[in-house]
Structure 1
Amino acid sequence: MVSRVIPVDPFDLVIFGGTGDLARRKILPGLYRRFRDGQMPDGARIIGAARSDIDTAKYRQFVESAVLEFVSKKKCDPEVLKAFLGCFSYVTVDALGDMGWSELAKEMRDDVVHAFYFSVGPRLFEPIAERLKSHAIAGPDARIVVEKPFGHDLETARALNATMAQHFEERQIYRIDHYLGKETVQNLMALRFGNMLFEPLWNAQYVDHIQITVAETVGVEGRGAYYDRSGAMRDMVQNHLMQLLCLTAMEPPSKFDPDAVRDEKLKVIRALDPVEPEDLVRGQYLGDDDVAPYTQDAEAEDSRTESFVAMKLHVSNWRWNGTPFYLRTGKRLRARMSEIVVRFKEPPHSIFEEDTGQSANELSIRLQPNEGMDLKVTIKEPGPGGMRLIDVPLDMTFAEALGEEVADVPDAYERLIMDVIRGNQTLFMRGDEVEAAWAWTDPIIEAWQERRDVPHSYDAFSSGPEEALMLLHKDGRRWRELRE
């Protein structure tokens, strides 16, 4: 199989917060992998910008240590790494003052793509944006990459969008959600809109329900202060799960174009019904002999912040009327697993005996680990003895179906950064999309705060609160088992 890679133009990429944890863990290793695979053009330059008082040589040492720590040894070729480090320079910049901005302006070249990655907290977005403009560093074709959180609620999201709009046009702003960069998320669109097999069945007439799960085994240690102000609803549902829901439920766009795709996603969000209290479960993990409880991890003894959310919701449009969507996400659960499950309805009439084992078809789209898809179908069990039916998966795990080299897909961050350089906004959120998501989320949060709801407790490394299991049981359904 020949891989077709869309080339990118020469660029200057400035990483604000270039010495931070996100840069070290994700951005810098991802850029190295793109360089190693020949996707970065000759003359590409990467400029680290932060308050740390270091020089370019010290910054290159920082980059090298990040690559060696977070890139597999078999990909760390010394000669390639040496050439990669040659792409880097560093400027000490004060986001809240005047230090370093003139030096940064001198680093920028003419006639190349200019991209600026805001790998910093939201409070620094405005001062950085203002200084990029006042020092004539970011021109009308510059691209700005903004990390989440995109606000804390609708009010702050609107304020953040308004702030960015003072300095940049919407076509210049790339709001990054790394879930949209995952190979399988993009394959969801290919599956739906590139094949005739599924799209005619992708509606309420044939689909019984859809489950979207993002489960983590880790707790909130190290992020407790941030997480306790946000919780699972703000940290995961409003963005990551919302995006997966949109791609699953949206109508076919007229073409694979950034605004056409995002228009259809926006329609899904606006079609969401409010969630009733009985259709929502919040949870908070307990500790055991090996791990601390949430309240200790977050250093908040009386916290009512949820580390787990499960809910049933409905998309009120012709395609999905009456088909429930079940969403769940949580920390310190039994397995690390992200997947979308489309469970189809059972045949309207079975010609077989009731005890033959026949059940409904189920399409599972796995985002992590072991990215891939499988479709559960019913067949006759081989051998004599009558018509005995069994369920078997038609499995397409990427590593098995396409080979290790093809299946070794790019990390979400490296794919999305290259899309920024290409000027492709398809996998980035638009401002009105972010605000619509908050407009739906805020009333849910406000309602449980008014009721002073206390999260249900659940054991560490379990499937979550019992109440979450009952959310489906009362409808005669079951969650897919959490498994690695």
Structure 2
Amino acid sequence: MKEKKIFKPCDLVIYGALGDLSKRKLLISLYRLENANFIEPDTRIIGVDLHDIKSTGFVEMAHKSLKEFLNDDIDDVVWKRFSARLSYLKIDLTQMDQYQQLNSVIDQKSRIMVNYFAVSPFLFKNICQGLDKSGVLTENSRMVMEKPIGHDLKSSKEINDVVASVFSENQVYRIDHYISVALCQFYFHHQLESQYH
């Protein structure tokens, strides 16, 4: 029986792509999904961060992270396929005008845009407002953020209010930071898949 592909073609945009969460968890999980043949061929992974490292620098960083945190050998064939998905945009997340760059790389017609907020919650408002102002979002866009959201009830409500001003509730996915990587993979991608049916 042919394995079911969980991931539909999409543009996965990781904000904070050079940060610890991306290096230690997201890129590792995505590589494992690639290794399991669970990512559709046309899916792209777009890293967004402040530093000017170009796409080649992002690919090099991803490879270094896999060597350090994968706890397994990197398969050359899988890596070649995975690295071909990777690209990078230099965006200062506090500067609203810089989000316009996304319009030049996001394929709004044939892909779902999945926005993964791998940054401190204090930047969520900036990202939401920047995305909204850029016009890159559509009704098919998705947003993923990790819990805990904020440092107390008040800050959590403030963040959720900001998110709700840009994304509808059925576009938002909140993932528990403390669940296992395997469960996180299943939960995240199963949730996204369900939106296509």
Whole-Å separation in 1 of the counterparts to 2:133 and 2:191: 23
The SS at the match of 2:110 is coil
Counterpart in the other structure of 2:25: 26
- What is the number of residues matched between the two proteins? 194
2:190 is equivalent to residue 419 of structure 1:
yes
Whole-Å separation in 1 of the counterparts to 2:185 and 2:91: 25
> Which runs of 5 or more structure 2 residues have no equivalent in the other structure?
none
Counterpart in the other structure of 2:79: 81
2:91 is equivalent to residue 96 of structure 1:
no
Whole-Å separation in 2 of the counterparts to 1:147 and 1:153: 15
**1:29-428 residue pairs with structure 2 within 5 A?**
29-74=28-73, 76-98=74-96, 100-109=98-107, 110-179=109-178, 182=180, 411-423=182-194
**Following superposition, which runs of at least 4 residues in structure 1 exceed 6 angstroms of deviation?**
none
The SS at the match of 1:72 is coil
Identity of aligned residues (%): 30
Counterpart in the other structure of 1:15: 14
Whole-Å separation in 2 of the counterparts to 1:167 and 1:7: 27
- The structure in which a higher percent of residues are helix is 2
Whole-Å separation in 2 of the counterparts to 1:34 and 1:18: 18
CA shift for structure 1 position 421: 3.3
Q: Deviations over 1:88-111 (max 9, x none)?
A: 100001111145322222110121
Deviates more, 1:95-104 or 1:144-153: 95-104
Task: Pick closer, same or farther for the CA change 1:88–1:420 going to 2, 3 Å.
Answer: farther
CA shift for structure 1 position 136: 1.1
> Which runs of 5 or more structure 1 residues have no equivalent in the other structure?
183-409, 425-484
Q: Deviations over 1:22-66 (max 9, x none)?
A: 000000010000011100001110000000111000110011111
Letter of the structure 2 residue corresponding to residue 52 of structure 1: H
Which of structures 1 and 2 has the bigger CA Rg? 1
Letter of the structure 1 residue corresponding to residue 185 of structure 2: E
Aligned residues of 1:178 and 1:412 also touching (Cα < 8 A) = no
Whole-Å separation in 2 of the counterparts to 1:420 and 1:58: 31
Measured on the aligned residues, the alpha-carbon RMSD in Å equals 2.0
Aligned residues of 1:115 and 1:420 also touching (Cα < 8 A) = no
Q: Deviations over 1:87-135 (max 9, x none)?
A: 0100001111145322222110121111000001111001101111110
Letter of the structure 2 residue corresponding to residue 105 of structure 1: N
Letter of the structure 2 residue corresponding to residue 28 of structure 1: L
Task: Pick closer, same or farther for the CA change 1:161–1:73 going to 2, 3 Å.
Answer: closer
Larger relative contact order, structure 1 or 2 (CA cutoff 8 Å, min sep 6): 2
Whole-Å separation in 2 of the counterparts to 1:419 and 1:54: 32
The SS at the match of 1:411 is helix
CA shift for structure 1 position 6: 5.2
CA shift for structure 1 position 418: 1.8
Whole-Å separation in 2 of the counterparts to 1:91 and 1:77: 26
Aligned residues of 1:47 and 1:88 also touching (Cα < 8 A) = yes
Aligned residues of 2:113 and 2:141 also touching (Cα < 8 A) = yes
Whole-Å separation in 1 of the counterparts to 2:142 and 2:57: 27
The SS at the match of 1:53 is coil
Whole-Å separation in 1 of the counterparts to 2:182 and 2:129: 31
The TM-score, its normalising length taken from structure 1, stands at 0.38
Letter of the structure 1 residue corresponding to residue 8 of structure 2: D
CA shift for structure 1 position 72: 3.2
The TM-score, its normalising length taken from structure 2, stands at 0.90
The SS at the match of 1:73 is coil
Counterpart in the other structure of 1:400: none
The SS at the match of 1:90 is strand
Aligned residues of 1:60 and 1:85 also touching (Cα < 8 A) = yes
Aligned residues of 2:13 and 2:115 also touching (Cα < 8 A) = yes
Q: Deviations over 1:274-317 (max 9, x none)?
A: xxxxxxxxxxxxxxxxxxxxxxxxxxxxxxxxxxxxxxxxxxxx
